[in-house]
């Protein structure tokens, strides 16, 4: 689960986008103000569950007394046709929050499901990392979903760690100069350097890099870089990693593999929210 702040902020923004002037004119026209209801959340496909906190807060944002009961936890495998949760509360609030809540659940469960597929394809625990290629405004939620799927998190943001990339190298003039400036500015901090060639790998190692980001290298070159770095620096493979290639990359012995697709290309999971009409009538 996440701290409340990023979830609350994301839910607030989502409702500001969806409600406009604050009114769901369809629901208010059709549903009596005092009606209460119960709804079931049903998975339409096999998946890994994530986004429970944002889903739950979406209903409580509109009905502080809403009760969400879960039949599964974040990180659990769920099956098509399974009821994963029930929601009880004011029926207007349930219907108004439905799309926002499901958007979070579908998108974040999609991230967790995709992360689990990459972790299993890699064949090694804790080797799969995410990146900063996230949907603006919901990075914390997406990174929590990656963890639910069995992956690990790279930097949350630019202030977390030093990662010298190709444009930093271009600005400094060389890998050696970029690493030297980083050491001078932030002595003692972990420094990772993006390397596109074995020549850059050697230069980064000689400059004192702690970790090498092996960018868009083929498997053979990654394997050679891992040998060069052994005992001197950690290694991370990145760039164009797919479910078909991650197993071979992991077999090189690289310490981690970053996959941007976990957060920028994960397909959403299909869920539906079904109101139990027997509890929806005016009491």
Which ranges in the chain are annotated with CATH 3.20.20.70? 123-264
Residues in the chain: 283
Positive or negative, the CA dihedral 213, 217, 219, 225 is negative
Report the pLDDT value the prediction gives residue 254, as an integer from 0 to 100: 98
Residue with tokens 């090189």: 252
Active site residue 194: yes
Q: Confirm if 81 and 42 have CB atoms less than 8 A apart.
A: yes
- Active-site entry in 79, 165, 186, 282: 165
**Over residues 221-231, mean pLDDT:** 98
1 confidence band (pLDDT: 50, 70, 90): very low
pLDDT (tens digit per residue) in 227-246: 999 999 999 999 999 999 99
User: Would the pLDDT of 201 be above 50?
Assistant: yes
Residue that wins the pLDDT comparison between 160 and 59: 59
Residues above pLDDT 70, as percent of the chain? 96
In this predicted structure, what is the pLDDT of residue 85? 98
Q: How far apart are CA 88 and CA 203, in angstroms?
A: 61
Say yes or no to pLDDT of 139 above 90.
Answer: yes
215 has catalytic annotation: yes
Q: Which of 63, 130, 211, 215 is catalytic?
A: 215
What pTM, to 2 d.p., does this model score?
Answer: 0.93
Contacts of 260 (CB under 8 A, 6+ apart): 130, 131, 133, 238
pLDDT at 283: 45
Asked if residues 39 and 174 have their Cβ atoms less than 8 Å apart, the reply is no
DSSP 8-state symbol, 269: P
**Which ranges in the chain are annotated with CATH 3.90.1170.20?**
4-118+267-279
Instruction: Quickly state the pLDDT bin for 277 (edges 50, 70, 90).
Output: low
What is the per-residue pLDDT across 41-92, written as a single tens digit (0 to 9) for each? Answer: 999 999 999 999 999 999 999 999 999 999 999 999 999 999 999 999 999 9
Please tell me which residue in 99, 186, 230, 282 is annotated as part of the active site.
Answer: 99
Q: Which residues contact 248 (CB under 8 A, 6 or more apart)?
A: 219
Does 40 have pLDDT greater than 50? yes
- The encoded tokens of residue 49 equal 């569950």
More confident residue, 3 or 149: 149
> What is the rounded CA–CA span in Å between residue 195 and residue 216?
9
Interatomic CA distance for residues 218 and 220, integer angstroms = 6
Q: Domain 4-118+267-279 adopts which CATH fold?
A: Aldehyde Oxidoreductase; domain 3 (3.90.1170)
Strand order in the sheet with 256-258: 128-129, 256-258, 234-238, 211-215, 191-195, 162-164
Residue 281 predicted with pLDDT over 70: no
- How far apart, in whole angstroms, are the C-alpha atoms of residue 130 and residue 32? 46
| Two structure tokens written together for 103 | 């958007």
Taking the C-alpha atoms of residue 191 and residue 141, their distance in angstroms, rounded to an integer, is 26
**What is the residue-averaged pLDDT of the chain?**
95
Q: Tell which residue, 90, 87, 82, 136, has the closest CA to residue 109.
A: 82
Task: Note the CATH architecture for domain 123-264.
Answer: Alpha-Beta Barrel (3.20)
Instruction: Spell out where the chain has E strands.
Output: 36-43, 47-48, 67-70, 77-78, 83-90, 128-129, 162-164, 191-195, 211-215, 234-238, 256-258, 271-276
Per-residue pLDDT, 3: 54
3-state helix, strand, coil in the chain (%, to 5): 45, 20, 35
Please indicate whether residue 99 is annotated as part of the active site: yes
Catalytic position from the list 60, 124, 132, 133: 133
Mean pLDDT of 121-143: 95
């Amino acid at each position: 689960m996440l701290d409340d702040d990023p979830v609350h902020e994301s839910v607030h923004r989502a409702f500001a986008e969806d409600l406009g002037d604050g009114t769901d004119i369809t629901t208010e026209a059709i549903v009596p103000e005092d009606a209460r209801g119960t709804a079931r959340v049903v998975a339409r496909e096999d998946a890994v569950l994530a986004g429970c906190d944002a889903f739950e807060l979406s209903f409580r944002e509109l009905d502080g007394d809403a009760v969400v009961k879960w039949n599964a936890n974040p990180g659990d495998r769920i099956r098509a046709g399974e009821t994963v949760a029930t929601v009880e509360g004011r029926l207007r609030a349930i219907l108004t929050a439905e799309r926002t809540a499901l958007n979070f659940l579908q998108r974040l469960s999609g991230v967790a499901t995709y992360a689990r597929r990459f972790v299993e394809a890699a064949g090694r625990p804790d080797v799969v990392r995410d990146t900063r290629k996230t949907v603006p405004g919901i990075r914390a939620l997406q990174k929590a979903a990656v963890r639910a799927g069995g992956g690990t998190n790279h930097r949350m943001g630019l202030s977390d760690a030093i990662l010298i990339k190709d444009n930093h190298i271009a600005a400094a003039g060389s890998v050696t100069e970029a690493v030297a400036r980083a050491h001078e500015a932030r002595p003692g901090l972990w420094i990772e350097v993006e390397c596109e060639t074995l020549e850059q790998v050697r230069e980064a190692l000689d400059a004192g890099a702690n970790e090498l980001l092996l960018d868009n290298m083929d498997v053979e070159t990654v394997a050679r870089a891992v040998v060069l770095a052994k005992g001197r620096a950690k290694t991370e493979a990145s760039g164009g990693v797919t479910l078909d290639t991650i197993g071979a990359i992991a077999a090189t012995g690289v310490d981690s593999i970053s996959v941007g697709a976990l957060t920028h290309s994960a397909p959403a999971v299909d869920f539906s929210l079904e109101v139990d009409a027997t509890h929806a009538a005016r009491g």
